Amino acid sequence: MLNNSIEETMKKYKNFNDVYKYAYVGFPKGFAGLSEPFYGTFEDFNKEYGFKIENKKFPTILYIHGSSGLYRGDVYRRYIVEELGFIFFAPDSFRLKNRPTYLSPTKSKYYTRVHKIRVAEISYNSKKIKKLPFVDKNNIFLMGNSEGGLAVAVSKAKGFKGRIVTAFSCESSYFYKKFKIGFKKSCPFLNIIGTDDEFFSKESELNSEYKVKGNGIKTLKKYHNAKIVILPKAKHDLTQNIYVKDEILSFLKLWVTVQ
For the stretch 122-134, pLDDT in tens is: 999 999 999 999 9
Identify the CA nearest to 216 among candidates 155, 150, 161, 151: 150
Domain count of the fold of the chain: 1
Which residues constitute the domain of residue 30?
3-255
Distance CA 141, CA 146 (A): 17
Write down the pLDDT at residue 258.
Answer: 72
Distance CA 113, CA 8 (A): 12
- CATH code, 91: 3.40.50.1820
For residues 58 and 141, the answer to whether their CB atoms sit within 8 Å is no
Write down the pLDDT at residue 84.
Answer: 98
User: How big is the CA angle at 99 (ends 155 and 1), to the nearest 5 degrees?
Assistant: 30
> How confident is the model over 238-257, as a mean pLDDT?
97
* Pick from 38-52, 196-210, 213-227: least confident: 38-52
Question: 121: pLDDT confidence band, cut at 50, 70 and 90?
Answer: very high
Question: 33: pLDDT confidence band, cut at 50, 70 and 90?
Answer: confident
Bridge partners, 144 (sequence order): 64, 165
Distance CA 102, CA 153 (A): 20
HSE-up (13 A, CA, CB side) for residue 114:
24
Burial class (CB in 10 A: 0-12, 13-18, 19+), 107: exposed
DSSP 4: G
Q: What is the mean pLDDT of the chain?
A: 95
Write down the pLDDT at residue 51.
Answer: 61
Q: At what angle do helices 73-84 and 244-255 cross, to 10 degrees?
A: 50
